[in-house]
């Protein structure tokens, strides 16, 4: 926790302590610590002199600001209407089969988390998924298997 | 005509208003009612519900009248076919995601959504119901019930908790169709920073936020012949309860209320004002002891001392300023003093085993429910107060008993803890505890009544956010000669946003006061979270006027002259701040987390 406090203190120096600093601070915490813990949100609230509920309100609005611990690789499948029509459900089923986890879950050993997200702006090439910052478009079962097995191999 | 007025036309009538006035308020000036839901006069504009839309001639889009300022030459239609269609459509959409079960709903006949849906005759046929069926009612708190299935997401509660109370316990979380009003990490209401003040309840247009109701338990106790059920009612209940029975705000219904409670079967109908007088004796003496320690013994004591009768305020300071709890008076609130006295002194006098006594409090407050259940509040050996009821619940119970309230004769409170002074009555309004304390403290210090016409300390009265008064003590009695010539400053705040300003001064070591009164709710208890809905500034003012009228009508106006108070010290408590008082009338506070 000392680490988190220290981190947030540094981030408040970097971004300032105005209300508008909230989002960049939260983004940086997620980048460093993988997710927003209760303690980190409470500490941010204290430093910005706003309420913890308000911090959570902001965090829950953005799907990239996780408030739960996630795996090393966060797989986010676009759930917007275009990707839905182009086969989002099949995409998810395929990933679930390969990784043996359901949406919202994290694989044993904390390697992969499977999540849905709002529009990623790749509607013309749907269905799409993100693995951390990497976009994969026009997904097919083969393409998904290929992509994921690379991540699985890399881990071993 | 001054140049910052503007003239516009609303439904064919010319209206001249100050610049910056909303179209909604301009319409009010010519008695045109535009429906609203997210709008509340106590709060900033949100403009999210859109039921207040109007048509501006020559414009294609409709305008939200609560959010749009009137501009010169505007030609507004508030009830064109286009407007009516849009409103009905908006209402229908709201209803399509609403858990509409009015007949069994606590806000039935007192609900803004219901009234509008009925006015516009919204049947639920236009849109399929998209009501989520996975919501549960949060009943974790002793005070607040939160039912998201009745929430229209107008955010009045969020704004109330932020602007009026500066607690920010509630926030808008998630987005799109998952958007809801929630707490930190969606924690239950009893695990968060919520003070239980209930201000969000009286600002909520629907039954999404209500007080947790206990009247079924009370009926059960009344019907149980082995139980002796005592009720006591706070000063601000008698100036607001009438509103539940079609009286105009500001009607004093003390006598009828007493009669109604007797008819309902309470074994004894007593007055929280009695214990308000008791609070004043203890609290004024506590202040004098602190002053003596500071001035004479040169000891470190926490000054200013701050009142502790408002349980919402007490929980607020426990969460927000846990390092400064020493400033709080250790006195229990009048409600809790009442409870501990009923189960000791009263039980002894009446010869009743305290285990058979059920003590009910009728309160203008939602936080009193939680206060009654604080684990510290069991000094009598039993739970001192068994249940706190709001003014609204009392009104419901009277209706359930089939009592025609307006027709009732007027009766007096019963004896033993039923007598009170005017000083206790003014507890109900912001500044009242200060006024009552000063009436007694000044008399103790100087041997003379406070130097104000008719004992009316007018500078502490009224709705101003923070009030102060300076009193100079001269010709003091020998015991208090250390105060001779001293000009002491006293401060008063109501609403927790104002309380925060007062506390920040203390934190910075810059507080000019020796004694501060803080009430969690705007206007004090008369504007409490348990009072009839609606509560607006106009209504608060009328209830306050009634409080001072009731005070003037009392033969005794100072707490220390109440004969029942003299009696309880003679025969039971012996001295203020004595051993018994210490055990039964004083309490401790705890540090809490800020989320
Ligand atoms: S909140 Fe209003 S509209 Fe909804 S069920 Fe209750 S009374 Fe009816
Ligand atoms: S709880 Fe009540 S005040 Fe709050 S958003 Fe819902 S309906 Fe509005
Ligand atoms: S009861 Fe008071 S503190 Fe609690 S959520 Fe409502 S307004 Fe905020
Ligand atoms: S009352 Fe105007 S938008 Fe809600």
What is the average per-residue pLDDT within B507-511?
97
State yes or no: pLDDT of A27 exceeds 90: yes
- Smallest Cβ–Cβ distance between B175 and the set A46, A61, A67 belongs to A61
Do residues B431 and B517 touch, judged by C-beta distance below 8 A? Answer: yes
| A104 part of contact set with chain B, CB < 8 Å | no
What is the average per-residue pLDDT within B47-59?
96
Binary contact (B185, A67; C-beta < 8 A) = yes
Q: Which ligand sits closest to the CA of B101?
A: 1
Q: What is the interface size between A and B, counted as CB pairs within 8 Å?
A: 57
What is the average per-residue pLDDT within B175-191?
95
pLDDT given for residue A153 in this prediction: 87
**Residue B2: pLDDT band by 50, 70, 90 thresholds?**
low
**Host domain of residue A14:** 4-61
What is the average per-residue pLDDT within B158-179?
96
Return the best residue to mutate from B169, B204, B310 for the ligand 3 pocket (most ligand atoms within 8 A of CB): B169
**B112, B145, B282, B286: which is the annotated catalytic residue?**
B286
What tens digit of pLDDT does each residue of B437-491 get?
999 999 999 999 999 999 999 999 999 999 999 999 999 999 999 999 999 999 9
What is the average per-residue pLDDT within A111-130?
93
- Same structural domain for residues A53 and A8? yes
From the CA of B150, give the closest atom in ligand 2.
7
Q: How large is the ipTM?
A: 0.91
Residue A64 Cα to ligand 2 middle (Å): 27
CA distance B201 to B212: 11
Residue B35 Cα to ligand 4 middle (Å): 8
Written as one string, the DSSP assignment of B21-54 is -BHHHHHHHTT-----SS--TTS-----S-TTEE
Residue B156 Cα to ligand 2 middle (Å): 6
A15: left (phi over 0), alpha (psi -120 to 50) or beta: alpha
What is the average per-residue pLDDT within B543-547?
98
On chain B, the residues whose CB falls within 8 A of the CB of A43 are none
CATH 3.40.950.10: which residues of chain B? 281-330+420-585
State yes or no: pLDDT of B1 exceeds 70: no
**Residue B398: pLDDT band by 50, 70, 90 thresholds?**
very high
B75-77 sheet: strands from edge to edge: B13-18, B5-10, B75-77, B53-56, B63-64
What is the average per-residue pLDDT within B72-80?
97
| Domain end call among A19, A34, A61 | A61
The CATH number linked to A96 is: 3.40.30.10
What residues contact A143, with CB distance under 8 A and at least 6 apart? A136
**Residue B143: pLDDT band by 50, 70, 90 thresholds?**
very high
B283: left (phi over 0), alpha (psi -120 to 50) or beta: alpha
**Residue B29: pLDDT band by 50, 70, 90 thresholds?**
very high
B286 is an active site residue: yes
Residue whose Cα lies nearest atom 3 of ligand 2: it is B204
Given 3.10.20.740, 3.40.50.1460, 3.40.50.1450, 3.30.70.270, which CATH number is that of B5-79?
Answer: 3.10.20.740
pLDDT given for residue B293 in this prediction: 96
Do residues B78 and B65 touch, judged by C-beta distance below 8 A? Answer: yes
Q: What is the pTM of this model?
A: 0.95
A40 in a structural domain: yes
- Same structural domain for residues A95 and A147? yes
Residue B243 Cα to ligand 3 middle (Å): 24
Residue B525 Cα to ligand 3 middle (Å): 15
How many domains does chain A fold into?
Answer: 2
Average pLDDT, chain A: 93
* φ, ψ for residue B485, nearest 5 deg: 80, 0
Residue B49 Cα to ligand 4 middle (Å): 5
- Same structural domain for residues A56 and A107? no
Tokens of B237: 């209940």
B523-533 CB burial, b ≥16 within 10 A, e <16:
bbbbbbbbbbb
CA distance B352 to B277: 24
CATH 3.40.50.1780: which residues of chain B? 215-274+335-407
What residues contact A145, with CB distance under 8 A and at least 6 apart? A94, A98
From the CA of B38, give the closest atom in ligand 2.
8
Residue B169 C-alpha, separation from nearest chain A C-alpha, in angstroms: 6
Length of chain B: 595
A66 in a structural domain: no
B561 is an active site residue: no
A113 in a structural domain: yes
Q: Scan residues 7-66 of A and list those with Cβ closer than 8 Å to B.
A: 38, 41-42, 45-46, 50-57, 60-61
A49 in a structural domain: yes
Return the best residue to mutate from B42, B107, B205, B534 for the ligand 2 pocket (most ligand atoms within 8 A of CB): B205
Around Cβ A81, how many Cβ atoms within 10 Å? 12
Residue B536 Cα to ligand 4 middle (Å): 18
B368 is an active site residue: yes
- Same structural domain for residues A143 and A102? yes
Q: Which long-range contacts (CB under 8 A, 24 or more apart) does B121-126 make?
A: B122/B88, B122/B91, B122/B92, B122/B95, B124/B92, B124/B95, B124/B96, B124/B100, B126/B89, B126/B92, B126/B96
What is the average per-residue pLDDT within B515-538?
98
> Architecture of domain B215-274+335-407 in CATH?
3-Layer(aba) Sandwich (3.40)
pLDDT given for residue B177 in this prediction: 85
**Residue B138: pLDDT band by 50, 70, 90 thresholds?**
very high
On chain B, the residues whose CB falls within 8 A of the CB of A52 are 184, 193, 594-595
* Residue whose tokens read 């209300």: A19
CA distance B99 to B129: 9
A88 in a structural domain: yes
pLDDT given for residue A155 in this prediction: 63
Chain B residue with minimum CA distance to A57: B173
State yes or no: pLDDT of B296 exceeds 60: yes
- Smallest Cβ–Cβ distance between B168 and the set A38, A42, A53 belongs to A53
Given 3.40.50.720, 2.60.120.10, 3.40.50.2000, 3.30.70.20, which CATH number is that of B101-211?
Answer: 3.30.70.20
* φ, ψ for residue B75, nearest 5 deg: -125, 105
- Smallest Cβ–Cβ distance between A60 and the set B174, B193, B595 belongs to B174
Binary contact (A56, B170; C-beta < 8 A) = no
Binary contact (A45, B167; C-beta < 8 A) = no
pLDDT given for residue B132 in this prediction: 85
Do residues B26 and B15 touch, judged by C-beta distance below 8 A? Answer: yes
Residue B439 C-alpha, separation from nearest chain A C-alpha, in angstroms: 39
Given 3.40.190.10, 2.30.250.10, 3.40.50.850, 3.40.950.10, which CATH number is that of B281-330+420-585?
Answer: 3.40.950.10
On chain B, the residues whose CB falls within 8 A of the CB of A60 are 173-175, 182
Residue whose Cα lies nearest atom 8 of ligand 3: it is B161
State yes or no: pLDDT of A63 exceeds 90: no
- Smallest Cβ–Cβ distance between B173 and the set A41, A46, A56 belongs to A56
| Domain end call among A22, A40, A61 | A61
**Residue B3: pLDDT band by 50, 70, 90 thresholds?**
low
CA distance B158 to B203: 10
CATH 3.10.20.740: which residues of chain B? 5-79
Average pLDDT, chain B: 96
Residue whose Cα lies nearest atom 8 of ligand 1: it is B102
- Same structural domain for residues A122 and A84? yes
Ligand 4 neighbours, Cβ below 6 Å, are B 36-39, 47-52, 64, 66-67
CA nearest B595: which of B210, B189, B139?
B189
**B49, B111, B359, B525: which is the annotated catalytic residue?**
B525
Ligand 3 neighbours, Cβ below 6 Å, are B 144, 160-161, 165, 167, 169-170, 194-200
On chain A, the residues whose CB falls within 8 A of the CB of B180 are none
The mean-pLDDT minimum among B77-91, B116-130, B331-345 falls in B116-130
- Ligand 1 lined by B488 (C-beta under 6 Å): no
A67 in a structural domain: no
Written as one string, the DSSP assignment of B183-220 is -GGG--GGGSS-----HHHHH-SSSSEEEPP-HHHHHH
pLDDT given for residue B340 in this prediction: 97
State yes or no: pLDDT of A2 exceeds 90: no
What is the average per-residue pLDDT within B66-74?
97
């Amino acid at each position: 926790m000392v680490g988190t406090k220290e981190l947030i203190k540094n981030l408040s120096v970097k971004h300032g302590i105005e209300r508008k600093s909230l989002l960049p601070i939260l983004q940086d915490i997620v980048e460093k610590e993988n997710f927003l813990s209760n303690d980190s949100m409470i500490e941010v609230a204290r430093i910005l002199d706003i309420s913890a509920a308000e911090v959570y309100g902001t965090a829950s609005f953005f799907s990239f600001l996780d408030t739960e611990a996630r795996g090393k690789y966060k797989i986010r499948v676009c759930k917007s209407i275009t990707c839905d029509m182009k086969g989002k459900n099949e995409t998810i089923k395929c990933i679930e089969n390969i990784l043996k986890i359901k949406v919202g879950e994290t694989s044993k050993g904390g390697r992969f988390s499977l999540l849905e997200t709002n529009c990623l702006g790749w509607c013309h090439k749907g269905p799409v998924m993100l693995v951390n910052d990497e976009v994969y478009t026009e997904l097919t079962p083969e393409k998904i298997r290929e992509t994921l097995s690379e991540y699985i191999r890399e881990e071993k | 005509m001054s140049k910052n007025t503007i003239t516009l036309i609303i439904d064919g009538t010319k209206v001249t208003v100050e610049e910056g006035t909303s179209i909604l308020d301009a319409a009010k000036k010519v008695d045109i009612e535009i429906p609203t839901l997210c709008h509340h006069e106590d709060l900033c504009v949100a403009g999210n519900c859109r039921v207040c839309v109007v048509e501006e001639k020559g414009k294609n889009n409709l305008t939200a009248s609560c959010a749009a300022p009137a501009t010169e030459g505007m030609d507004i239609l508030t009830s064109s076919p286009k407007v009516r269609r849009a409103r009905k459509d908006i209402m229908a959409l709201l209803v399509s995601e609403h858990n509409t079960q009015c007949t069994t709903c606590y806000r039935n006949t007192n609900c803004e959504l219901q009234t509008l849906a009925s006015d516009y005759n919204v049947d639920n046929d236009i849109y399929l119901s998209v009501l989520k069926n996975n919501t549960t009612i949060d009943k974790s708190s002793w005070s607040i019930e939160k039912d998201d299935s009745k929430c229209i997401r107008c955010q009045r509660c969020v704004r109330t908790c932020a602007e009026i109370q500066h607690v920010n316990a509630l926030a808008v979380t998630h987005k799109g169709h998952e958007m809801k009003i929630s707490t930190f990490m969606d924690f239950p209401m009893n695990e968060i920073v919520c003070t239980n003040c209930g201000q969000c309840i009286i600002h909520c247009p629907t039954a999404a936020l209500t007080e947790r109701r206990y009247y079924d338990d009370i009926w059960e106790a009344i019907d149980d012949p082995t139980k002796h059920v005592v009720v006591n009612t706070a000063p601000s209940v008698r100036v607001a309860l009438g509103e539940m029975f079609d009286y105009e705000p500001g009607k004093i219904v003390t006598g009828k209320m007493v009669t109604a409670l007797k008819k309902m079967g309470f074994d004894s109908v007593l007055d929280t004002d009695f214990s308000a007088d008791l609070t004043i004796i203890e609290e004024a003496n506590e202040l004098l002891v602190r002053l003596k320690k500071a001035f004479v013994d040169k000891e470190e004591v926490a000054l200013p001392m701050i009142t502790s009768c408002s349980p919402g305020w007490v929980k607020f300071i426990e969460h927000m300023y846990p390092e400064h709890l020493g400033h709080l008076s250790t006195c229990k609130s009048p409600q809790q003093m009442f409870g501990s006295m009923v189960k000791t002194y009263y039980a002894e006098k009446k010869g009743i085993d305290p285990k058979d006594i059920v003590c009910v409090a009728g309160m203008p407050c939602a936080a009193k429910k939680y206060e009654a259940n604080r684990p510290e509040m069991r000094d009598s050996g039993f739970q001192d107060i068994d249940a706190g009821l709001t003014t609204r619940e009392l009104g419901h119970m009277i209706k359930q008993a089939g009592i025609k309230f307006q027709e009732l004769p007027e009766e007096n409170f019963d004896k033993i803890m039923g007598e009170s002074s005017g000083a206790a009555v003014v507890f109900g309004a912001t500044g009242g505890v200060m006024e009552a304390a000063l009436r007694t403290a000044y008399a103790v210090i100087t041997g003379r009544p406070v130097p104000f016409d008719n004992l009316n300390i007018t500078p502490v009265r009224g709705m101003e956010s923070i009030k102060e008064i300076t009193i100079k003590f001269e010709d003091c009695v020998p015991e208090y000669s250390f105060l001779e010539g001293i000009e002491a400053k006293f401060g008063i705040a109501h609403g927790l946003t104002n309380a925060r300003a007062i506390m920040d001064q203390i934190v910075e070591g810059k507080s000019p006061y020796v004694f501060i009164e803080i009430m969690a709710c705007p206007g004090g208890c008369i504007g409490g979270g348990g009072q009839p809905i609606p509560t607006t500034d106009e209504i608060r003012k009328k209830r306050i006027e009634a409080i001072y009228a009731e005070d003037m009508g009392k033969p005794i106006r100072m707490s220390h002259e109440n004969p029942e108070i003299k009696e309880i010290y003679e025969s039971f408590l012996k001295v203020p701040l004595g051993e018994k008082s210490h055990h039964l009338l004083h309490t401790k506070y705890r540090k809490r987390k800020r989320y």
